[in-house]
Amino acid sequence: MTKRYDLIVFDWDGTVMDSTAVIATSIQSACRDLGLPVPSDEDARHVIGMGLVQALQHAVPAAPEHMYEPLADRYRHYFLSQDQTIPLFAGAADTIAELHAAGHQLAVATGKSRKGLDRVMDSSGLRAYFHASRTADETFSKPHPAMLLEIMDELGATPERTLMIGDTTHDLQMAVNAGVDAVGMTHGAHPEEQLRELKPLVLLDDFNGLRTWFRANA
């Protein structure tokens, strides 16, 4: 079967790795430590996928500007104490390996820092499957299309032959802004009804469903 997509780009947190709860609680704990307003679970989850300082600015808008770097440091303290134990979603590794074996180019576009992405790609054993990646400290944060545009340029892919996989509206809006198709994963940070508003090709609950969809459509 002829491939529909040459390039498949994955978000990481909340899409490949089941890190939503750890990120949200790390934001909340950092705020408590510094005596700042603690965002609700919904607000803490909503900013997942953005670059860290941008995410904190949205989650804690009442914080003075000079507090965002200390807040980011406290967030890292909590997140890094747990990140080596955060699991991949069931079926993620097998699906990625299958796509790689089928000849697709694979990439990651993430709100993580380069250091953070390198660490989890190595610890997960998935680095060898990916041909390119962009992080929020290297270019514009989602939903700006720069991550996708830069990856496509690096790998020689066209928008009509590129697919974005993500769990947040930031991921799906980035895909819209870059002119590429998208699949939404409902097992991550943003609720299904919010993802649906951005009209992805399909919304899927887990990697078993994604793997089946890929076999028929990718």
* Residue 137 annotated among the catalytic residues of the structure: no
- Burial code (b: 16+ CB inside 10 Å, e: under 16) for 83-119 equals beebebbeebbebbeebbeeebbbbbbbbbbeebbee
The residue from 6, 13, 122, 181 that is catalytic is 13
Residue 17 class from Cβ within 10 Å (0-12 exposed, 13-18 middle, 19+ buried)? buried
Q: Which of 11, 83, 171, 181 is catalytic?
A: 11
Chain segment 156-204, per-residue pLDDT in tens: 999 999 999 999 999 999 999 999 999 999 999 999 999 999 999 999 9
Q: What proportion of the chain, given as a percentage, has pLDDT over 90?
A: 96
Sequence ranges of the chain with CATH classification 1.10.150? 20-84
Asked if residue 151 lies in contact with residue 175, where contact means CB atoms within 8 angstroms, the answer is: no
Residue 29: pLDDT band (50, 70, 90) is very high
> In whole angstroms, what is the distance from residue 204 CA to residue 148 CA?
21
Which of 1.10.1740, 3.40.50, 1.10.3470, 1.10.150 is the CATH number of 20-84?
A: 1.10.150
Q: Is 206 tagged catalytic?
A: no
Give dist(CA 148, CA 195) in Å, integer: 19
pTM here is: 0.94
**Angstrom distance (rounded) from CA 172 to CA 166:** 7
Please tell us whether the domain made up of 7-19+87-217 is placed in CATH 3.40.50.1000: yes
Dist. CA 162–CA 164, nearest whole Å? 7
